[in-house]
Structure formats: structure tokens, C-alpha cells
């Protein structure tokens, strides 16, 4: 377990674990959504400069969490009211909230097109069982990672069995990307017609040209959060370390050796008189060639 996660042991009829409230009702375990009292009911405000689908995903995620965590219909209704109050507190229009609620429940309730809300315990249990049978986003990601790891760990014989199929897939991907032009821009509300304008300009400029065979795809990026804009994280430890290369170390050792040789040669020449033949006397210019001189200068 990570060192920054601290767990406290509690014994009682209604302890909380992360964002789940566990309750013992006369031997029956009940679960509901846990809210910290000191935490403010804050989500991305509706007035923030984000694409429309971001706000819809917030509502859908909140309802889905309430359905998964609430074991009784009463707890679910309480959490549904809390979700509405939280959204209204953050500036979400009531009509937008109601439409997203209807859109979510219509996926699980198909008895009548006019009854989009759960109004009894039986419908709720049916909806909850269907939802619990579906994997969460995290479970899907883990399953994909495990499947990819199993493929990578297969033997070489299994890989050689289907060489043509993988080659065809690679060729198709390359071929498809060659026929597409991707353009991304940072989302802002004032640019809500940017996609349509880009497509219109592209058609007007490249009409009756081979460029029309290339499909233009205009996408948008979400704006960076205030935390990302104002807080500058410390670089990684690998970047902060002062790495000394082997080449630098070898150069430094060579310089030290040459300096020590020069010092010993100078001392010996000063202390002793050269009584030996001239060719046996030590001459610095003859000992070190031009390349050594260049290394010393470096």
C-alpha cells in the first residue's frame, strides 16, 4: 500500500470507508454514499469554459455512483436529492439537470416512454442489478491491460501464426491516417462555431482539388485547470541530479595525471644537476607531444 494512504480502524454500527457508508441494520449490511461534513459540495461550475459533454458526464457519474453505492431505494432517493442540490449550488440549470436525469434513466427503464424516473423499490433493484453487472471504467482499463500483457507474453510461435493479419492491420491504420487531417484547438465558449467554420473554409478553399479526398477532423482540448496553471511542480529527481559523464571523468583524470607528471619533472630538474649525457636528461617538450599539449589546454 502507498505510504501516503493512512487507514484508521473503527468499530461501530455505521463506519465509513473512503466514500462509502457501511451500516449494520440488525445483521443486514447496508451501503450508501458517504459525504464528509467539512467538504464543500463543489463540482465544475456550469459557468466554467468547458465543453457541454463535461457537465453531462458529471451528472451521469454522480447518478451512477449513487446507484452502485445505495443498497436501498430510500438511500438512493436521498442521494439523488443531494446531487440536485449540489448541481444547483454550482449553477446548473434545473432543465439541464432534469434532461440529463431522464436521459440516464431511459437507458435502463423501457417500460413506458413517459416514465423516466424510478418510483418504486422493484424498479430500483432491477436497475441496480443491471448496472452492477457492467464493469466500471477502471475495471475496463485493468481488463484491457491484462489482455495486452497476455498477448505480449505469448510465445513466438503464436505470434508467427498470424503475421499477415497484423501486417494488414498496420497497413490499414497507416492508410486511414494518411487520408485524415486532424486539427485541435483549446475549447472556449466564444469558439462554439469554430468547427463548422473550419469545415466551411476547407471546402471553399480546396473545392475541386485532390485535397478534398482528405477528411478534415476538428477536435477540441479542454482548458487547463487553475491548479495546473498556477502550480508549477518540481522536476523529477532524474532531471535534478547532476550527472557526470564518463567522458568528463576520463578527461579530468588525464589532466590530473599530466599535471602530476609536470610537477615531478620540474622538481627533479631543479634539485639535480644533469651530469648524464644530454639524451638522458628529461625534456618536457620531448616527453609530451602536441596532442598532450592540446589536452592540457582543454
Give pLDDT, residue 130. 76
The pTM is what? 0.50
What sign results for the dihedral spanned by CA atoms 183, 184, 185, 189? Answer: positive
**Half-sphere exposure in the Cβ direction for 290 (13 Å, CA):** 0
Task: Report the pLDDT averaged over residues 69-94.
Answer: 88
Q: How confident is the prediction for the chain on average, in pLDDT? A: 71
Q: Taking 60 as the threshold, does the pLDDT of residue 42 lie above it?
A: yes
Domain boundaries along the sequence of the chain: 16-137, 169-233, 246-297
Which pLDDT score is estimated for 169? 53
Q: Which residue has the higher pLDDT, 134 or 275?
A: 134
What's the CA gap between 101 and 127, in Å, rounded? 14
Indicate the range of 35-44, 66-75, 154-163 predicted with least confidence. Answer: 154-163
For residue 290, what pLDDT is reported?
47
Most confident segment among 94-98, 106-110, 152-156, 239-243 = 94-98
For residue 282, pLDDT over 60 is answered with no
Amino acid at each position: 500500500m502507498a505510504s501516503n494512504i493512512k487507514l484508521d480502524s473503527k468499530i461501530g454500527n455505521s463506519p465509513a470507508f473512503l466514500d462509502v457508508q457501511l451500516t449494520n441494520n440488525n445483521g443486514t449490511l447496508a451501503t450508501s454514499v458517504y459525504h464528509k461534513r467539512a467538504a464543500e459540495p463543489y463540482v465544475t461550475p456550469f459557468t466554467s469554459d468547458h465543453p457541454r459533454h463535461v457537465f453531462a458526464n458529471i451528472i451521469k457519474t454522480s447518478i451512477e455512483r449513487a446507484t452502485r453505492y445505495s443498497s436501498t431505494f430510500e438511500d438512493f432517493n436521498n442521494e439523488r436529492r443531494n446531487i440536485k442540490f449540489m448541481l444547483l449550488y454550482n449553477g446548473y440549470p434545473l432543465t439541464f439537470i432534469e434532461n440529463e436525469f431522464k436521459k440516464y434513466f431511459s437507458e435502463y427503464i423501457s417500460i413506458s416512454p413517459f416514465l423516466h424516473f424510478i418510483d418504486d423499490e422493484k424498479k430500483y433493484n432491477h436497475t441496480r442489478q443491471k448496472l452492477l453487472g457492467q464493469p466500471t471504467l477502471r475495471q475496463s482499463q485493468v481488463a484491457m491491460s491484462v489482455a495486452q500483457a497476455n498477448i505480449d507474453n505469448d510465445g513466438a510461435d503464436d505470434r508467427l501464426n498470424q503475421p499477415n493479419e497484423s501486417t494488414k492491420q498496420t497497413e490499414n491504420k497507416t492508410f486511414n491516417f494518411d487520408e485524415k487531417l486532424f486539427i485541435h484547438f483549446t475549447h472556449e465558449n466564444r469558439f462554439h462555431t469554430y468547427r463548422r467554420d473550419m469545415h466551411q473554409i476547407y471546402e471553399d478553399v480546396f473545392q475541386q482539388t485532390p485535397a478534398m479526398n482528405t477528411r478534415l477532423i476538428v477536435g477540441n482540448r479542454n482548458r487547463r485547470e487553475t491548479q495546473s496553471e498556477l502550480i508549477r511542480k518540481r522536476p523529477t529527481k532524474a532531471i535534478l541530479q547532476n550527472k557526470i559523464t564518463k567522458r568528463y571523468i576520463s578527461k579530468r583524470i588525464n589532466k590530473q595525471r599530466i599535471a602530476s607528471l609536470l610537477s615531478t619533472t620540474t622538481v627533479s630538474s631543479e634539485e639535480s644537476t644533469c651530469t648524464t649525457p644530454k639524451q638522458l636528461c628529461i625534456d618536457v617538450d620531448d616527453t609530451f607531444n602536441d596532442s598532450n599539449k592540446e589536452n592540457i589546454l582543454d
